[in-house]
Amino acid sequence: MKDIDAQSCCSVLTDKAEILVGSAEKSRALRYVLYMVPLLILWVFIYQELANFSRLMTYSVLRLQEGNHLSSAIEFFIFETPKVMMLLTLVVFGVGIVRSFFTPEKTRAILAGKGESVGNVLAALLGIVTPFCSCSAVPLFIGFVTTGVPLGVTFSFLISAPMVNEIALVLLYGLFGWKIAAIYLGTGLLIAMISGWVIGRLHMEHHLEDWVLQIKAGGNGMEEEKLTWENRIQYGLDAVKDIVGKVWIYVVAGIAVGAGIHGFVPEGFMASIMGKGDWWSVPVAVLVGIPMYSNAAGIIPVVHALIGKGAALGTVLAFMMSVIALSLPEMVILRKVLKPKLIATFVGVVGFGIMIVGYLFNILI
């Protein structure tokens, strides 16, 4: 507290000092930007050369024969791994910087003033950029609900935050192209918005555990720290270290599995089990997905393998959304604040939304 007082009184007394500090900060930020530009150019250059590099490695350095399964699997692996890792690093860094502008507290403040429909849309969108980890789900939930964010709007946020995230989008883009990434983004947001809206319409506030509403949460009086650009860039770098450090193993493992399947398992292998033909494949995919728990990074390689071998896109998308958005551990955590009926409603509404998306894509594509 003392620090803050001292600072604010300084800035009143000596505006000049403030300006000097400000310009020093700016020049430091500028230096960061100067570092960034060549790095970015280098990134683009390497990224574009990856396909050539993987061919060179496979056929000239490793001297594998062209046209057989093993070499095509290896070429796939050498190409995909650095490609996805590079994309992931860049996007996690970018999103990290964006996230430094959105704390859960700020998101709450934005949502608290909004009515239901607008609130649902905003909450789903803010779910993408607000830092969120599923172990904070309960305090966040309580914080939202007890400070004037409507229940349905809170759910929109809780559905969107884990489901629509940058890792999922990068991996989808890297492995399937921008169309599927965009479809996932769009439908994920829609499910979050509509499910939250429906839950809000059902007026289930009395299905919260009683102690929740007795808590006087509200602001904890902590001063919002002022971040400089240097801090934000640091925040982005920390995010890269943290997320890429955790996720790379899934990515490599997933691509390795993908490469194996790419080379060896016959095309159309999955079509018989997860193909378009059977109406029940979508609900089964959703049901199977619920007890499974994985983050986006873990599940997408599996998805990749499934689609590559003829499983229908809608069915696989439904499976993936179910695994990420409806997880048993999260429900156990949420049980502390929600009565069973509300949890069941949550699963029912979201599951139904996911199923519609599944059918829709099986019909459209």
Q: Does 42 bind another protein (CB under 8 A)?
A: no
Q: Rule CB under 8 A: choose which of 122, 142, 300, 316 binds another protein.
A: 142
Residue 226 amino acid letter:
K
For 127, residues 6+ apart whose C-beta sits below 8 A from its C-beta are 156, 157, 158, 159, 160, 161, 163, 164, 192
7-26 binders of another protein (CB under 8 A): none
Q: Does 294 bind another protein (CB under 8 A)?
A: no
Choose the stretch contacting another protein; rule: CB under 8 A; options: 133-141, 155-163, 183-191, 342-350: 133-141
306-335 binders of another protein (CB under 8 A): 333
Least gap, CB of 145 to another protein (angstroms): 10
Least gap, CB of 188 to another protein (angstroms): 22
Q: Does 138 bind another protein (CB under 8 A)?
A: yes
Note whether 149 and 111 are within 8 A (CB). yes
Q: Does 220 bind another protein (CB under 8 A)?
A: yes
Q: Does 226 bind another protein (CB under 8 A)?
A: no
Site size with another protein, rule: CB under 8 A: 31
Residue (176 or 346) nearer to another protein, CB: 346
Q: Does 268 bind another protein (CB under 8 A)?
A: no
Neighbour-count burial of 125, counting CB atoms closer than 10 A to its CB (0-12 exposed, 13-18 middle, 19+ buried): middle
Q: Does 103 bind another protein (CB under 8 A)?
A: yes
Nearest to 146 by CA among 224, 211, 192, 207: 211
CB 361: neighbour CB atoms within 10 A? 21
Residue (131 or 275) nearer to another protein, CB: 131
* CA-CA-CA-CA torsion sign (25, 30, 35, 36): positive
Q: Does 135 bind another protein (CB under 8 A)?
A: yes
Site string for another protein, 190-219 (x = CB under 8 A): ---------------------xx--xxxxx
Nearest to 349 by CA among 199, 190, 186: 199
Residue (56 or 98) nearer to another protein, CB: 98
* CA-CA-CA-CA torsion sign (338, 339, 345, 351): positive
Name the residues that contact another protein, by CB under 8 A: 1-3, 103-105, 108, 131-133, 135-136, 138-140, 142-144, 211-212, 215-222, 333, 336-337
